[in-house]
Each structure stands twice: as C-alpha cells, then as structure tokens.
Amino acid sequence: MPRPELRKIVFVGYANPRSLDAARAAAPGAEVILASSSEERAAHIPTAQVTMGGGLSDDELASAMELFWHHVPWVGVEGTLSPAMIAKNILITNGSGVNSANIAEHVVAMMLAFARQIPRFVRDQEQRWWRHWENEPNYFELGGQTVLCLGTGNIGQDVARRLNAFGCELIGASRSGRQIEGFTRCVSFDDLANVLPLADHVVSSLPMTPGTDKIMSAERIALMKPGSYFYNVGRGGTVDQEALIASLENGHLAGAGLDVVDPEPLPEDHPLWTTSNVLITSHTSGNSPQSAQRMADLIATQLQRYQDGEELLNVVDQSAGY
C-alpha cells in the first residue's frame, strides 16, 4: 500500500545545517522547514506530516492533524514520549548509533584519565609543581580489568569493542540478558548483584525509562567492588546521586566519570562539583563533527526508506521507552 506523500517536514527547535540539507536532498518534493520560534512552530506543525527534533507540546500535538512520524535525531526519547504523543499513536524513530563511536571514545578517555591520574597532573601543572616519586599517584592499567557495561546497545557494544583491545574482560547487562558479541558474557538486570562486585569499572549508557529510574540504587552502589570506578554517559536519573557522592566521599569508590547528571545543568552549589575524584564533562560525549554527519546521513536514509516503502530504522518501542 502506498504511503502518504511527504509534503512538509518540520525541524522543531534546532537543526544542524547538515541535517536540513540532507532532508532537502532526500525528499526533494517536500517542503523542509526549520521552526525555531514558538510562532514558527505554531505556523508549520499543523500541516506537517513529519517532525524532527525534541518533544512537542500537548497543544502542538493537538494541532498536528497530519502528523504521522516524529524523528528524534539523538538517542534519548524520554522528553518526547509524553502521554499525548503516545495517545496520538505517532511513529517515533530515534538516532540510535549516530554518536555511539564518540561516546565510547569518551568513556575510554575518562578511564585512561583515571588510570594515568591525569586530573591530578593537570592540577599540579596549574600550580607549577613537579610531582616527586616519593608521593606516587595511584596508577593502574586497564589490561586484565573487568568492565561491566549497563546497556548493551550501540554505545555499550562500541565501548566493549574498544576495551577488548586493552585486554579487558567485558560483562554486559541488559533488560533481557541476551548474549551479545564482544562481551565475555551478558546478564539480565536481575543478576546485577552477582556481577557488580566483580567489576573494576561500571559504565552506564542506559536511557531514562521507568525501568531504569535509579537502577544504580544505594544498595547496588554498595555492592560495587571497593576501589572501583563508575561512569555515566546515559542519563543522570538512572543513578542515586546522593548515594554515589557518599560512596566517593567515604572511599568505597575510587572515582566517577560523569557526562550526565541530574539535574542538568548542574547547579553551581551542587556537591558533585567538589566531590573528590569526579570528572564532569557537561553532557558533551555525544558531540563530534563525525556524529553530526552520521545524524544527517541517518535522516537521509530514513526519508529514502520511507519513500521506497521500506521499514524504517530505529523504531522506538514506546511501551519500553527506547
């Protein structure tokens, strides 16, 4: 059965110019609009068949009588899956995979920074202090260490591929526990109590869903191996931050690399800013010129697949939240 014609595609909020160009090239018969202001959104969303960007308000959804597909150019869809969006039964796709490579490199960079004590040396450099061997930093090597990846999607798999090259043992954890190539073994979230004490590093790339809300609870943080490290490149709400801070301050955890926190932006007086041995990178792990191009390429691919009658990629399971 022929699909409805694409006459108008509206990017809401902001769009990288590459994505706009890609949409125009892939769907030359459609009008491609960037609606940045509330007035522009109100003018164009009612006649759009496809919208791309973040969430739409309830009023915007009520006005969108022709809308049947919304594409989130990045991975997280928690801001998009409103009750009104779900009730309207709109197809939702996301940008899964477009920034997994650079996020994985970001994780490895944070691990190596702790392994080689780079934050300490940066502070020493600012003070122009040459560290002497009698006060040697606590170095370690990644080879032979165990890494537990919470989430075995594109990001988790890209992390595993890179850390396999360092000689790490990789354990993956997911809702299903399905075995994934690149991991030594995979377990379900129900088995976290058995693997958290084994891991030298725990890396979370989990989305924010009802099933992942504070999945790293105080109880699970307490189960982590003494002297281990925690990294979060998923969503801040998946972690009990107060418990994480307490565990860092009492020395149970050796450090944390946090690209995401809750709330964002982090208030200036938040204790995480001054918690010992924490790296905060302000939700930047997803950024790179290459990921912006992959985002545009995916938009072009999706539009072409739609017009060719092919199944779209990265269709969001709205009941699962990702």
Strands of the 228-232 sheet, one edge to the other: 185-188, 169-174, 146-150, 201-204, 228-232, 253-258, 278-280
312 found inside a domain:
no
Closest CA to 89 of 320, 302, 318, 307: 318
Number of domains in the chain: 2
**pLDDT digits 0-9 by tens, 214-239:** 999 999 999 999 999 999 999 999 99
User: Would the pLDDT of 137 be above 90?
Assistant: no
Burial class (CB in 10 A: 0-12, 13-18, 19+), 88: middle
Q: Both 93 and 128 in a single domain?
A: no
What average pLDDT does this structure show over 124-144? 87
Give 78's contacts (C-beta < 8 A, 6+ positions apart): 207, 208, 209, 235, 321
Examine residue 42 and state whether it is found in any structural domain, yes or no.
yes
CA quadruple 199, 202, 207, 213: dihedral sign: positive
What gap in Å lies between CA 102 and CA 233, rounded to an integer? 11
| 69-72, strands of its sheet edge to edge | 31-35, 8-12, 50-53, 69-72, 91-94
105 and 93 in one domain? no
Length of the chain, in residues: 322
Residue 77 has pLDDT above 70, yes or no: yes
Q: Which two tokens stand for residue 4?
A: 């409805």
Tell me if 137 is assigned to some domain: yes
Task: Give the pLDDT band of residue 3 (cuts 50, 70, 90).
Answer: confident
d(CA 146, CA 293): 33
Alpha-carbon Rg for the chain in angstroms: 22
- As given in the structure block, the two tokens for residue 171 are 């354990």
Task: Dump the DSSP string for 122-171.
Answer: HHHHHTT-PPPGGG------STT-EEEEE--SHHHHHHHHHHHTTT-EEE
Clarify whether residues 59 and 126 are in a common domain.
no
Which of 20, 10, 97, 22 lies closest to 54, judged by CA?
10
Residue 100 contacts residue 157 (beta carbons within 8 Å): yes
For residues 114 and 276, the answer to whether their CB atoms sit within 8 Å is no
User: Same structural domain for residues 24 and 79?
Assistant: yes
Quick check: is 161 in a domain?
yes
Which range (22-36, 61-75, 126-140, 149-163) has the least confidence?
Answer: 126-140
Instruction: Give the pLDDT band (50/70/90) at residue 1.
Output: low
* pLDDT for the residue 138: 87
Which whole number is the average pLDDT over 29-33?
97
Look up tokens 């899964």; give the residue.
Answer: 96
Are residues 22 and 149 part of one domain? no
**For residue 298, what are the domain limits?**
8-98+289-307
Any domain includes 314: no
**The domain spanning residue 258 has which CATH number?**
3.40.50.720
Within-domain flag for 40: yes
Q: Is residue 296 part of a domain?
A: yes
What is d(CA 232, CA 238) in angstroms, rounded to the nearest whole number?
Answer: 9
- Longest CA–CA span in the chain (Å) reads 75
Q: What pLDDT shows up at residue 57?
A: 97
Average of pLDDT values for 251-263? Answer: 98
Query: Using an 8 Å Cβ cutoff, are 158 and 103 in contact?
Result: yes
Whether residues 260 and 136 fall in one domain:
yes
* Residue 180 counted as domain residue: yes
CB 264 within 8 A of CB 68: no
**Are residues 169 and 216 located together in one domain of the fold?**
yes
What is the arithmetic mean of pLDDT over 182-199?
Answer: 98
Inter-residue contact 116 to 140 (CB < 8 Å): no
